[in-house]
């Protein structure tokens, strides 16, 4: 999963994702993130008309996502935006706002917890698309703020088929832990794991066009807040040919809901078309989702910078305190009973020791810790 590049003839890869220079994730892997990873595919023409008669197979990857509950998937806002509004001026800044996909006419196919396309024979159809109320695009550069969205499913998601993965749904952290993770991982510039199915991939150092049949993964390093800020201000001044003062209209403190990552050592991993919205694990914890990247294929000299939307800016969707409220609010889209389902007991014990962070509900009401 990596692009390569230099500053000459650069290609901006924003809001379109793939993983290249990636390494295949074999079915025996025990990375927990593979259990709640979701591949989001575009439906073939009119295939949704037969949705009641069969489970769709793998088609063309659109984005990635993370299964929060059996019927809620978190992905990037831009993945489920069918279009963007005309520029809307707010103060001294101009933004575009997303128009979400139509749940009835623009359905997608969801493949949960699979590491190979061969396993993707039991896809689930989408029901409803929801974008974060603050999701918007900065008109001058195309940067996105609050790049979060949710997909509600028509059926319950299938469990992961990997026996070595503990859970089929994303870990649930408290508000305090989400904030601690955000600051601590940036402070120590943690290593981050990315994964997804890409339009391009590498095999024995050769670049191939096409979707790999096996889930790819790669590693990048998180950069601190100050370095990310400098890159955004001075970097955009170079890339877009604008004077630095014109970019200062962008309110970085208010609108920056992402973190920055760069190459890790000799690793040359970068995301691109098909990987947006996929889960990113930093310091061993579910930390964010893939947002955008900048790079060039075939050039190892380019210092690749990527945006990852940090979960700390999506507290309602990702914190233990609000999970019951979230489920209750969305229950009327798919529920038939008067009472919503019981919430999985997945509160964090210690977010910085991943092997000890989970608890699960037992029939006797006691909590079993790992």
CATH assignment of the domain containing 306: 2.40.10.10
Structural domain contains residue 336: yes
- pLDDT digits over 223-255, tens only? 999 988 888 777 655 444 444 444 446 678 888
- pLDDT digits over 202-225, tens only? 555 555 556 667 888 889 999 999
pLDDT for the residue 143: 86
Token pair of 268, please?
């040359």
pLDDT for residue 97 is more than 70: yes
- pLDDT digits over 127-138, tens only? 999 999 999 998
Structural domain contains residue 109: yes
> Whole-model pTM?
0.79
Using CA atoms in the order 60, 144, 168, 119, what is the torsion angle rounded to 10 degrees?
10
Q: What's the whole-number mean pLDDT along residues 81-94? A: 87
Number of domains in the chain: 1
Could you tell me the pLDDT band of residue 145, with boundaries at 50, 70 and 90?
Answer: very high
**H helix and E strand count, the chain:** 7, 26
Q: Which of 75-79, 234-238, 258-262 has the lowest mean pLDDT?
A: 234-238
Q: Please state the length of the chain.
A: 370
Structural domain contains residue 4: no
pLDDT for the residue 300: 55
Owning domain of residue 22: 12-363
C-alpha 65/C-alpha 270 separation (Å) is 17
Structural domain contains residue 118: yes
- pLDDT digits over 20-76, tens only? 555 666 555 678 898 899 999 888 655 555 555 555 655 677 899 999 998 999 999
């Amino acid at each position: 999963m990596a692009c390569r590049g230099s500053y000459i003839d650069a290609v901006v890869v924003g809001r379109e994702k793939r993983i290249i220079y990636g390494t295949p994730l074999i079915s025996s892997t025990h990375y927990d993130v593979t259990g709640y990873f979701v591949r989001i595919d575009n439906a073939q023409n009119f295939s949704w008309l037969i949705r009641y008669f069969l489970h769709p197979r793998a088609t063309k990857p659109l984005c990635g996502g993370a299964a929060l509950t059996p019927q809620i998937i978190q992905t990037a806002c831009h993945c489920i935006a069918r279009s963007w509004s005309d520029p809307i001026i707010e103060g001294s800044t101009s933004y575009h706002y997303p128009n979400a996909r139509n749940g009835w006419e623009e359905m997608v196919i969801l493949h949960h917890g699979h590491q190979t396309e061969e396993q993707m024979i039991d896809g689930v159809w989408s029901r409803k698309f929801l974008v974060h109320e603050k999701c918007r695009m900065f008109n001058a550069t195309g940067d996105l703020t609050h790049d979060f969205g949710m997909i509600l499913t028509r059926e319950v998601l299938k469990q992961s088929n990997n026996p070595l993965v503990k859970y089929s749904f994303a870990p649930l952290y408290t508000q305090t832990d989400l904030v601690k993770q955000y600051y601590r991982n940036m402070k120590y510039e943690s290593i981050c794991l990315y994964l997804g199915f890409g339009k391009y991939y590498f095999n024995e150092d050769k670049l191939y066009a096409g979707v790999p049949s096996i889930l790819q993964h790669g590693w990048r390093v998180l950069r601190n807040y100050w370095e990310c800020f400098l890159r955004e201000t001075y970097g955009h001044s170079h890339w877009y040919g604008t004077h630095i003062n014109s970019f200062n209209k962008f309110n970085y403190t208010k609108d920056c809901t992402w973190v920055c990552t760069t190459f890790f050592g000799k690793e040359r991993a970068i995301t691109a078309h098909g990987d947006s919205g996929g889960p990113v694990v930093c310091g061993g914890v579910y930390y964010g989702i893939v947002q955008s990247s900048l790079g060039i294929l075939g050039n190892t000299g380019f210092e690749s910078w990527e945006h990852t939307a940090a979960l700390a800016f999506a507290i309602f969707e990702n914190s233990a305190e609000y999970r019951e409220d979230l489920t209750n609010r969305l229950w009327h889209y798919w529920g038939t009973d008067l009472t919503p389902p019981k919430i999985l007991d997945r509160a964090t014990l210690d977010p910085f020791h991943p092997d000890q962070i989970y608890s699960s509900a037992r029939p006797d009401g006691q909590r079993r810790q790992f």
